[in-house]
Amino acid sequence: MKRAIPSRQALRHLARLCNEPIRSARAPLCTVSRQTHPAAQLRSTPPQPSRTLSTSAPSRQEPPTTTTTTTSSANETTNIAPPPLPDTTSYYTLFPSTLPQGPPPSGPFAIPLPALRREYLSLQSTHHPDKFPASSPLHKQSLGLSALLNTAYKTLSSPLLRAQYLLLHRHDIDVSSEDNSQNITDQGTLMEVMEAQEAVEEAANEDEIAALKEENNERVWATVQKMGDAFEREDVEEAKKECLRLKYWESLGQVLHDWEPGKEVRLVH
């Protein structure tokens, strides 16, 4: 049986049919194009909440940081090591820079007062109670030390108080006591004191008082020199004698300072 030869029209129809698979093979390009469409992306990816963008660096975190720093600084201030305390064995050991040799006889009786004052002020500044919290043990300790420094400085600055301190704490002799049975003044000193007292009572004007002041200042200076020499050679009895004389001259100096015409003259014995 002879095969029928397709007509030209049939061939064109077949060609169209054959080309359909080719177009359908390229169809995935259209599919990809549809997936990349903005509308498709919005449908496939859920919208992200806007609040998640602000969680990376919230501004309200700054106050805790400042508070922590302040607390840390306060702790550092509280935990600062206190300065080393001076040696409180005696008034002399409180001032090692000015009095490195200590009291006589190892050291001199005379004291350089400007150097003593500088060291005193430096110690008071270092151990001032205001440097420590009022409720801390260091504050109470600094109060006691400050009072001790005041007393020691006042005592060592005065030759009379210094001599009384040395006699009491090194030789157990209290010349500041009101009991004069242990502190008998020699007759020569008593006569000299009585004459000085009479001169003050007879003074009639400021010029005479000025001359008596000058005379008494010379007595004070000479007595301090003799007393210092006695301490340095450990002559306790001589040091005590000159210390008692110095008490009279110091008292006379105060009387001359407070002098007024007709005012009663009373010396402290």
Q: Do residue 147 and residue 189 come from a single domain?
A: no
Q: What percent of the chain has pLDDT over 70?
A: 66
Rounded to the nearest 5 degrees, what angle is found at the Cα of 206, between the Cα atoms of 203 and 207?
90
* Domain of residue 202, residue span: 180-258
More confident residue, 154 or 40: 154
Q: Is residue 194 part of a domain?
A: yes
The pLDDT of residue 181 is above 60: no
φ, ψ of residue 238 in degrees (nearest 5): -65, -40
The pLDDT of residue 193 is above 50: yes
The CATH number covering residue 133 comes to 1.10.287.110
Helix 206-232 vs helix 187-202: crossing angle, to nearest 10: 160
Residues 188/189/192/193 CA torsion (nearest 10 deg): -150
Q: Do residue 186 and residue 245 come from a single domain?
A: yes
Query: Stretch 148-163: mean pLDDT, rounded?
Result: 97
Q: Do residue 186 and residue 246 come from a single domain?
A: yes
The pLDDT of residue 228 is above 80: yes
Per-residue pLDDT at 166? 98
What is the distance between the alpha carbons of residues 16 and 14, in angstroms, rounded to a whole number? Answer: 5
